[in-house]
Amino acid sequence: DVTFVVLGLEPEPESKLTNNQFGTLPGARVCPKSFQEALANVIMNAVKYSTISPRNTANQKSGGSLERGLKHEPWVQVSLQPNPSYLAPGVTILVKDNGPGIPMCERERVFERGYRSPTTSQYVSGSGIGLEISRELMSRMGGSLDIMNADKYTSTNGVETQNVGAIMRLRVYR
């Protein structure tokens, strides 16, 4: 079993927020129960999949083998930031983990009801409905849920994020 402990809340450096300034995030209209369910599904997936470690990053990216192991230190990071200026005002939530990631060819399939990746399904239990439900709930609230390309992810302050498996992006608007 893996235990995750919340050590503190650290906003993304580029968001220019401190723990005392959350009032500077723009408001967003959401149905609290739906938003909670959508975000909880995404975070629980990140926690589950972060426990799987790629034996060899290059090997895994080409469909190689994975292992669940003690040498791997799983982590999940959740960050909040205002939506970029080219979008309507609102909030972007990024959920990052250091699991094996989601292959490009599966990035839309993971949102299909019942789909489970053949690469990771033997290591993680589930029914393959959480992300489909989360995306539908976000859509009903006028928001979105998608997957960012972790291979090319660079924060807006130009610092590359290393050892990121998947980055799920939830967006809500005023």
**Is residue 60 within 8 Å of residue 66, measured between CB atoms?**
yes
Q: Give the rounded percent of residues in the chain with a pLDDT score beyond 90.
A: 51
**Is residue 54 within 8 Å of residue 66, measured between CB atoms?**
yes
Distance CA(21)–CA(17), nearest Å, equals 6
- Output the pLDDT for position 87: 95
- Output the pLDDT for position 96: 93
Distance CA(155)–CA(151), nearest Å, equals 12
- Output the pLDDT for position 57: 40
- Whether the predicted pLDDT of 128 surpasses 60: yes
**Kind and range of the H or E element at 58?**
helix 57-61
Mean pLDDT for the chain overall: 79
Range in 17-31, 38-52, 66-80, 91-105 with the lowest mean pLDDT: 17-31
Name the band, by pLDDT with cuts 50, 70 and 90, for residue 14. very low
Residue closest to 2 by CA, chosen among 114, 121, 99: 99
Q: DSSP letter for 70, please.
A: S
Name the band, by pLDDT with cuts 50, 70 and 90, for residue 13. very low
